[in-house]
Structure 1
Amino acid sequence: MTQTDDPRPVDLGATAQPARRSLNGDHPGDVGTRLPPLVDHHVHLMIVGVDALADSSLAGIVDLGAPLDLVAALRSRNGFPRADFAGAFLTVPGGYPIGRPWAPEGCAHEIRPSDRDERGSLPGPAETAVAEQHAFGASVIKVALNAAAGPVLDAATLDEIVRAAHDRGLPVVAHVEGERMTRRAVEAGVDALAHTPFSERVDDELIAQAVALGQRWISTLFVAGYGERTPESACAIDNLRRFRAAGGRVLYGTDLGNGDQPLGVNPAELALLAEAGLAASDLLEAITDPWPRPAGATGIATFVPGPPPADLDAVPGWLASAVVVPAEELEAL
């Protein structure tokens, strides 16, 4: 973790506001900091369970891979955290994550390449797969580009998926792993990466192309080494540091369900983001970005009791102590 010699509270940015909890709510009169809702942009409810985060500090999650019956069941569910879904992984026959012990039946949709000349004006397998996820309530489309685990979508099929998703106003997020998979995602116009690339060094030119595209990278640095220094974790931190320095948009995400992680904010993930060069205000920006939802009033807020952190090292633990509250329960100071 990056240290600072400045004893003053760190700059948390404009979204952090001093606040007091109303006398009409729980813990009346507590003083602390109001933040926008906290979001984990990469979780798997099919692994951790649909109710696992109900009492956590998270107000929102983005589920990046689940059977469509789970998406349908939770589409109109009330309470927090509110969820956005990708639906099934779109992959090739036998491609990732098919056959993984953690991947239940129905969490992947296998797409066979088709000849456009043969089908004429009829929708092809890629467009049909995107339409199915959308019909079940998906607000983002997930594609698997894991060359380290087997076959992957060819460039033409990936282009069809991206085009079909964008026609419906849906962003596309890709799991990239293996040589040149980041390049394939960038060249196809993929909107976000589900993980910071950890299996290949992304050169500065390609990073510049990703930034120019407006691509977002979801962090998931912790699962690259589970707290240990590994070649994968070092690669991911280096890639993210250069992506951020080039102006790239970073989203906090943990891949919750992958390994042993806390059910809520993971301070270790935030500490690794700080190591990759994110300042305190950048950490807040990454964890409060509403993507894939548009920004706007939600009626809820985050409250962190007590004084703000005095240095960058204290920010992860401070955020982990946050609670979700109705916005009307907080009074500005």
Structure 2
Amino acid sequence: MSSLAIRAGSMFDGFRLSGPTTVYVSGDRIVRVDRYGGLPDDGSELIDLGGSACLLPGLVDAHVHLAFNAGLDSVTSLAATSDGDLLAHMRTAARSTLLAGITTVRDLGDRGYLSLALAEELAGHPERGPEILAAGPPLTVPGGHCHFFGGEVEGHDALRAAVRERHARGCAVVKIMASGGNMTPGSVPPHASQYGLEDLRVVVDEAHRLGLPVAAHAHGVQAIRDAVEAGVDSIEHVSFLDADGIAPDPDLIDSIVRKGTFVSLTLGMDRGATPPLPEAVAAFVDAIADGYGVLHERGANIVVGSDAGCGPWKPHDVLPHAVADLAELGVTPVDALIAMTSSAARLCRVEGRKGRITAGADADILVVGGNPAHDPEAVLDVRAVFRAGVRVR
């Protein structure tokens, strides 16, 4: 079993920044953290990354789609791809994700439970990709948003059965499309609800009975309200859309904060991608960000779900860009990093094992240049990545 001593000039441990640190790794686990940055005296192999480097826990992306190819028409491409070729693409996407320092992802929508197959494959070769917490095909109404994944279901008995199937297959989370979305021709618009309050309650009650969390895709105000009332664990996108546009509801935001529901903010965008983001889309994104700022100001439980894979501006390594996005909303870099490490790990129910640097945690470590507590761009300067104690970059 290999023993490493990873030394750098500073460390963010998932909660706070500190000075020179040496992290001791045995096999795939962290066994000791020396906050004085001393040299190893136990025969461990020293990897000294220099005084300008900072150690961070591997990042956690709370919302990705490894099956999407980050193209202009990911849906059409998906439909034209065989399961074998799709799984091969997902392997490549997972590798790209890992090399950016994203060591854990929640995959919130795939076809044929391929993300579960990939998760099992990577469990034996963790150096090839992040740990995948898979939802499988998301629950949606017939012809509804993302129906092409194969998760169409309606009626309370069928919803319960769908939750039980995901539990039996080994999914880590249940995803339900509470509202419409933007990627599915012929489905209801994003502001309109797909499932009502009682439907959502049935899914939440059955999932929680089986020990699974529920993530609700919810753009519309009514869908968000119903999802909170039903007791979902996280709301994805939380765009506050109604028929007239974007309308953050102060009372609904207070309810989200009071109940402690996680909000998974759709942030992280490669604005240098080709083609450039259309002006109308950029304006829409900025308007949604205003609501995100209010959620932060009110003290909501914030994590980041990049929605990686959905378009050219959302490549699979995009999550680190979200630190700068959050800074524009008034979120400090440290709070942004908390949202993408320890808080995200808590939502994903891997708290303690992921999202922090401490004895007993998985040896998933990102090393960047500079001071990420002061410079949001520092997380893009990747110096090294360790996954389960193996250096992959």
Q: Aligned to 1:316, which of 353, 365, 377? A: 377
Distance change in 2, residues 1:12/1:278 (3 Å): farther
Distance in 2 (alpha carbons) for counterparts of 1:112 and 1:83: 27
Tell me which residue corresponds to 1:304.
367
Distance change in 2, residues 1:309/1:65 (3 Å): closer
SS of the residue aligned with 2:251? helix
Shift of 1:75: 3.8
SS of the residue aligned with 1:233? helix
Distance in 2 (alpha carbons) for counterparts of 1:36 and 1:255: 21
Counterpart contact for 2:363–2:388, Cα < 8 Å: yes
Deviations 1:269-290 (A, max 9, x none): 3222111221111111111131
Instruction: Choose between structure 1 and 2 for higher RCO, CA contacts under 8 A separated by at least 6 residues.
Output: 1
Shift of 1:68: 3.8
- What amino acid is the match of 2:146? P
Tell me which residue corresponds to 2:6.
none
Tell me which residue corresponds to 1:5.
none
Distance change in 2, residues 1:257/1:309 (3 Å): closer
Shift of 1:12: 9.0
Distance in 1 (alpha carbons) for counterparts of 2:328 and 2:369: 25
Distance change in 2, residues 1:29/1:75 (3 Å): closer
Q: Aligned to 1:127, which of 160, 175, 183? A: 160
Q: Percent identity?
A: 30
Shift of 1:96: 1.0
Distance in 2 (alpha carbons) for counterparts of 1:326 and 1:231: 38
Deviations 1:89-135 (A, max 9, x none): 1111121122xxxx4xxx23222225xxxxxxxxx111100011111
SS of the residue aligned with 2:224? helix
Tell me which residue corresponds to 1:40.
61
- What amino acid is the match of 2:294? R
Tell me which residue corresponds to 1:16.
17
Tell me which residue corresponds to 2:311.
259
Backbone CA RMSD of aligned residues: 3.1
Distance change in 2, residues 1:46/1:329 (3 Å): closer
Shift of 1:329: 8.7
Counterpart contact for 2:216–2:236, Cα < 8 Å: yes
Counterpart contact for 2:14–2:56, Cα < 8 Å: no
Tell me which residue corresponds to 1:84.
133
Distance change in 2, residues 1:231/1:185 (3 Å): farther
Shift of 1:70: 0.7
Tell me which residue corresponds to 1:118.
none
Shift of 1:322: 5.5
Distance change in 2, residues 1:299/1:136 (3 Å): same
Distance change in 2, residues 1:58/1:235 (3 Å): same
Distance in 1 (alpha carbons) for counterparts of 2:322 and 2:372: 17
- 2:109 equivalent to 1:65: yes
Distance change in 2, residues 1:328/1:60 (3 Å): closer
Counterpart contact for 1:21–1:27, Cα < 8 Å: no
Tell me which residue corresponds to 2:152.
110
Shift of 1:82: 0.5
SS of the residue aligned with 1:161? helix
Distance in 2 (alpha carbons) for counterparts of 1:53 and 1:136: 21
Counterpart contact for 1:265–1:319, Cα < 8 Å: no
- What amino acid is the match of 1:113? G
1:99-178 to 2 correspondences below 5 Å: 103=148, 107-114=149-156, 124-147=157-180, 149-150=187-188, 152-178=194-220
Distance in 1 (alpha carbons) for counterparts of 2:146 and 2:177: 8
Counterpart contact for 1:15–1:35, Cα < 8 Å: no
Distance in 2 (alpha carbons) for counterparts of 1:95 and 1:224: 28
Distance change in 2, residues 1:326/1:180 (3 Å): closer
Deviations 1:149-203 (A, max 9, x none): 4261132222101111111121111111235221121122121112141533221
Tell me which residue corresponds to 2:94.
53
Shift of 1:28: 4.1
SS of the residue aligned with 2:239? coil
- What amino acid is the match of 2:66? L
Shift of 1:88: 1.2
SS of the residue aligned with 1:94? coil
SS of the residue aligned with 1:59? strand
Tell me which residue corresponds to 2:336.
283
Counterpart contact for 1:223–1:258, Cα < 8 Å: no
Counterpart contact for 1:12–1:280, Cα < 8 Å: no
Distance change in 2, residues 1:13/1:59 (3 Å): closer
